Each structure stands twice: as C-alpha cells, then as structure tokens.
Amino acid sequence: MLFDLDMIKSVYSRIPERTAAARKAVGRPMTLAEKILYCHLYDGPAKEAYERGKSYVDFAPDRVAMQDATAQMALLQFMSAGKKRTAVPTTVHCDHLILAKVGAEADLAKSLDMNREVFDFLSTVSNKYGIGFWRPGAGIIHQVILENYAFPGGMMIGTDSHTPNAGGLGMVAIGVGGADAVDVMAGMAWELKFPKLIGVRLTGKMSGWTAPKDVILKVAGILTVKGGTGAIVEYFGPGAATISCTGKATICNMGAEIGATTSLFGYDAKAAAYLRATGRAAVADLADAIAEHLRPDPEVEKNPEQYFDQVINIDLSSLEPHINGPFTPDKAWPISQFAQAVRENNWPAELSAALIGSCTNASYEDLDRAASLAKQAAQEGLSAKCEFLVTPGSEQVRYTIARDGQLAAFQKMGGVVLANACGPCIGQWDRHAEMKDKKNSILTSFNRNFSKRNDGNPNTHAFVTSPEIVTAMALSGDLTFNPLTDALTTDSGRKVKLAEPRGDELPKRGFAVEDAGYQAPAADGSAVEVKVDPKSERLQLLEPFPAWDGRDLTNMVLLLKAKGKCTTDHISMAGPWLRYRGHLDNISNNMFIGAVNAFNDKTDCVKNQLTGEYGPVPATQRAYKAAGVGSVVVGDENYGEGSSREHAAMEPRHLGVRAVIVKSFARIHETNLKKQGMLALTFADRSDYDKVQEDDRIDIVDLSSFAPGRPLTMILHHKDGTTDRVALNHSYNAAQIEWFKAGGALNLIRKKQAQ
C-alpha cells in the first residue's frame, strides 16, 4: 500500500539542498548514513560538522512505529503529555501478544480473547491521536513497515530493537524506548549521540546454500554483541547490488545483535524493484530522481578507510553458511566446523524443533527458498524429523505463499503454520510439557538466542541460521548434519542429497492480499474517549516519578550485583509477562528475575539487607521502597543489550532503585534509564566492579556539581568498617541532566506543554 506520499515528497524536496549544506559543513565526501543524518537535523540545514561518538545532536525523524508490547507504555506516556494528535505519521502493530501453540487460526483466536482489553485500548488510543493501527494477525511490525512505510533516505524510530530492518530500503531506522517515541510524537527534537561509522564492503556474489543471513552471522562473529555499539553499520560495494531488498533487510535487522545504532544499504535497482512490487511505484520514481543522494559518494566506495571508523571486507563468493549459538548470537560457526563444535561442546545433537520465520527471515524470498527444499522432500518421501514451525512475516506474504504453494509444501513436510506474529521468537511459544526443562537443541531463523528467550527453558540450546539451513536440518533431525556434504536417508534406506535451494526474490504473479489488517484513524479523534479501568490487571495510568530532591544519594543498599550477561530479557522477561506491559506495578514483579547474582550464582535470589534473609528480587526491592531505603544495581559489560523495552528501566525506577552502575552499557538501555530520571553510570576503572560487596552501604556524591564530562564519586561502606571511593563516569549532557533533576524526561514534556 502507499502511505504518506506527501510527507515523502516533502522529505525528498529538501534532500538536495540539505546534502549540499552538509557537504559544505563537513568539507569532504559523505557516507550514506551521514547524508541521511545531516538531512534530518531538527534545526534545518547543517551549519557545522558533528564529532562522531561525542556530539549530541537533535534530529527530526519522519515517522514512528510501535509494537503492541511497547506501545502500551509509550502511549500511556503520550496521553499524559497533553497533545491532541501525533506530530509525525505513527503506527501501532499488534504482533507480540499472540500465542504460538497449535496453529494460526486457533492461536490468533485465543490471543484475541486473552488480550482484548489491551488490543481495544491500543485501537482506541490510535483512533484518537491519528495513529495507524495494524490489527492482530496483520503481521510483524518490521515486515509491515518494509512493505508499506520504509523509504530510501528517510529516518524513523521504532519502539523495538529490530527497527533497523528498514535499512534494507536505505532508511536510517533506529530502535528506541517509548519515552523517545513520545518526544517525536509530541513534535520535539529527538536526541542522539552522533554515531561512529562502520563500513562493510561486500564483493562477489552468493550462491548455493549461502543466504543474506550468513552475512550478518559472520559480522556478528567479527564484531561481537557490543562491537557495533554507538555506530551505524553501512554496507556497500559491488556485492551489495546482488542482494535482494528483503535480504538486505535481514542483514540490517540483526545489526541489533551487534549493538549497532542501525544498519543500512544504499538505494539500488533491487530497492526500486521492491518498492514497485509493493505498490509504491510513485516512491521509486521519486527516489530515482535523486538517486545520487541516496547512496554514498563515489569517493567513499573507492577509499572507504578514509571515511569509516572501521572497515570490514566480506567476499560473498566464498562466504559459508553459518550457524550461531548457543545462548548468544555472536558465537559464529561456519557450517563446515559446526558438527565438530556440537560434539566437542557436548551440545544435544538431536534437534527437538526447527523454526523458520520471524521479523528477520519471513520474506517471500526466504520462504520460497525454504519451500524449494520442502518440495524436494515431498518428491523423495522425506518429512521433518522434529517439530517444524513456520511463521509468515505478514498477511500479505502469507496470502501470497498460500496462493503460490509454499505453505502447502511446508505443511506436507510436517510443518505447522503459526500466526503472522512474533510468536516463539519473543517467548510466546507454549511448548509441550515434556520440553519445559529438558536439555535440548532448537534451530531457528530468528535473531536472538539468549537463555530462556524462546521457550522459558534455560536448558534449551538455541542456534540461529538461515531458513534454508533450518529447513534442511529439520529433515535430518540432527545438528551434526551438513546439507552441503551429507545425504538424508529415506524410510526405505535410500540416500538422498538435497539440491541447493532456489527461490524468487519477488513473486512472479505479484503480491496479493484480501485484508491486510490495517485500520485507519479517525480524521478528528477529539470525541474519542479512552478509558482505563482502575481495577485492570493489564493497564494502569502512569503517575509522575518524583523529582530529585537536590541532595546526594546516601546510605543506599545493594539490590543486585549482576554477573555476566544481563540483557533486557534478564531484567524484564517477555513471554508470560507480556500481558502486563501496560501495567507498570504488575510487570515490576518480574524485575531482574533472570539476572545472575554474583554472590551466589543464583537467579532471583538476593539478600534483603533489612532482614538478612534471601528472597526474590522484586519482593526485596519492594521492601526497600516501603522502608524508604534507596538501592543500587551493579552490572557487568554491555549491560542492557537486546530488546528496546523501556520496562527494564521503568521497573527499577518505579520500585525505588536510584542508580545503575556497570562496566559498560548497551545504547538503548542507557538512554532509557536516563529518560526515566535514573543515574546510569559506569566504573572509571572496570576492576572496581570487584570492590562492591554484598553488605555494602553506598553513597553517590558530588551530585550538586553534576555536569557533562565531570565524574561522580561512589563511596562503598563495607561491613568491616572500611571504605572505598570509586570514580564513576557518565555520558550525560546538559539536557539529560535536566531529565534527572526533573525526575524524568516526561515530566519536562508535561511542564513545557502546560506553559
């Protein structure tokens, strides 16, 4: 469908002038990421060059997108901001709150019944404030955005960490917390530290079993889960032109797993073809007219080391299929080495489930290539040797592959087709009872494989790869099977070697859909009434957080010293907790229940300093709040990686945690903590993490002189009477310090709106 054409025309009309101004300001050729960023400055054409990784810059994104789990809190905040309508085009997509158990029709019906209150709330709020609403079953937010809203050279933010998926169409698309979305919906500037730039030069051309997913799986192995933090990853080079638009989106999507601010490709013939195939020929025509501005300058392609902070070279012709995992998406294995890794690490070789789809890999091309293997299986009398689940990315894709025969091929192979939603990828998978705690292995075409993420089972070893490899391995049921070299055995004992997967980038007969699932908002929503039942367990109107009282934080206790990986899944789990995403107090009962306590290596078990007893983290923190005792959380490296969910920041704030002190932060979570009026601080000396003891009383001082670039001091009062003074760094600028003083960014918005 074609949306917001006038807005796109307006953006494109400004690009030539703003690009020229930016080129003059920086005094050199520019990457594509720089062009788009400088063309979206809140204050108009560039007047100065910004320093990467240091300058805080105000931007004006073109649109906002939210999924149903994060939209609840974002819209509750927006309702209290006092605006009558969103200032930029905005959409809500219902994809996270949908079960994955028996199949699409039954799961969707049950999900609608279970979540009716929330879906009705989101629908009504959207109708009131001019927000486009995509109903449950319409598809996964990022696939729907790519099909309908993404456009080359644009800039958007979304309340989901995989928003960079739109980079496949040449858009700077950034995952944020709900408070950031509220800023943009309210017409305010959106602040971002000007990113560093990582260039990935692609040469050659993929063939055989290699897929676009393998590009990002290899990059994840190179950069690790934090190697992209604070940077935009820009893909370029002759190899880029050989990858489909949806393949590019897959690569950009999983840039979230390396901590990148976003990822993107330049505009090319593949992007134009996708725009035309999805009913947006008018956008393709507009983009063609300014194509030179929608690509990096030629000098950048010729000498990338002069323009990027880091350059990675990948030869697509020699790239192997990869399988990454378990428990982290950056443990990368070329398939030629994977079987040996399975044996050496004693990972369960028997495959208990194979799952394809998700926002990362549910395009027409993905499913067509996987279906080519399912069709081979049918011809040879083969079927899946494990549970095989298929999640289409959107109703448009599902309808089209139903018409073209791919769905039937999956079902004949033994596959179960789930609803067009996130499902197992976000923890909505209701597995069979015998798999609840059993040690097992699963293979998915998803993006994340953190412990307990998919099914709540800490003993599930999850590996991520391409849909083609997942489908082939489902036919073997064995993680040590290599479809490039090994043969399958039929029931009669005959050996069968699978031919390489084949598929079309776009449907030969075009996309088709009867009901895409879109609900347009009222032209005038002023008469629409939004009601929230005060007795609701699912929704709760927000109360403003208290402002800083002007004093140092003293005599605080340690709530938790987290050990190792502490993602937003560890801080605020999804799965069954998704139902409480609109009720801050109820969802706070999952706070830190997945984090490992450094003092006992247990999860959800911390010492209550008031009683001396050990108990659950949420209950312990509620006791501190009731007693008026402030608390601190201490963490390890890349704290808060993963999802953009701001609940991971709002829950500690709501329950009275005053500061989070870590070795290093993931970008989105650090911003979310700042937005909620908390102190997000880092150890100046990482080894000072070891000085924090379980029974410490903690002071954070020098707050009266809290200023950009000026460290704060933590005083640790140990149980034996000794003390340690620890220097704490921070990345707050002047505006963010005002958030802290006001008790949160939303308090400032509310104050400005009232003036």
Please list, in sequence order, all residues whose beta carbon lies within 8 angstroms of the beta carbon of residue 333, skipping any fewer than 6 positions away: 322, 323, 324, 341
User: Residue 326: is the preceding peptide bond cis (ω within 30°)?
Assistant: yes
Contact 743, 677 (CB under 8 A): yes
Paired tokens of 559: 């709530």
Among left, alpha and beta (phi > 0; psi -120 to 50; other), residue 381 is left
* Share in percent of the chain as helix, strand, coil (round to 5): 40, 20, 40
> Three-state SS for 111?
helix
Among left, alpha and beta (phi > 0; psi -120 to 50; other), residue 85 is beta
> Three-state SS for 13?
helix
Q: Helical H runs in 186-268? A: 212-223, 245-253
> Three-state SS for 259?
coil
C-alpha 175/C-alpha 180 separation (Å) is 10
Q: How far, CA to CA in Å, does 52 sit from each of 41, 554, 641?
A: 15, 36, 21
Vertex 717: Cα angle to 714 and 722 (nearest 5): 120
C-alpha 83/C-alpha 221 separation (Å) is 45
* DSSP assignment of 625-662: HHHT--EEEEE-TTBT-S---THHHHHHHHHTEEEEEE
What's the chain's Rg over C-alpha atoms?
25
Catalytic residue among 63, 398, 448, 570: 448
Q: How far, CA to CA in Å, does 419 sit from each of 137, 344, 415?
A: 6, 37, 13
- Sign of the Cα torsion 337, 339, 340, 346 reads positive
Q: How far, CA to CA in Å, does 46 sit from each of 35, 42, 153, 192, 657?
A: 11, 10, 16, 16, 40
> Three-state SS for 494?
coil
Q: Is 583 a catalytic residue?
A: no
Q: Is 160 a catalytic residue?
A: yes
Catalytic residue among 62, 68, 95, 569: 95
Please name the helix (run of DSSP H) or strand (run of DSSP E) that holds residue 335, with its range, or none: helix 335-344
Q: Is 643 a catalytic residue?
A: yes
> Three-state SS for 72?
helix
Catalytic residue among 96, 142, 538, 653: 96
C-alpha 563/C-alpha 600 separation (Å) is 10
Residue with tokens 């895409």: 516
The residue type at 701: V
> Three-state SS for 716?
strand
Buried b (16+ CB within 10 A) or exposed e, 493-507: eeebebeebebebbb
The whole-angstrom distance between residue 725's C-alpha and the CA centroid of its chain comes to 37
C-alpha 161/C-alpha 254 separation (Å) is 9
Catalytic residue among 18, 293, 538, 645: 645
Best CA proximity match to 387, nearest among 428, 356, 362, 352: 352
Q: How far, CA to CA in Å, does 484 sit from each of 134, 180, 398, 402?
A: 40, 46, 29, 29
Catalytic residue among 160, 214, 696, 699: 160
Q: Is 85 a catalytic residue?
A: no
Best CA proximity match to 119, nearest among 458, 579, 604: 579
Q: Is 135 a catalytic residue?
A: no
Active site residues: 95-96, 160, 448, 643, 645
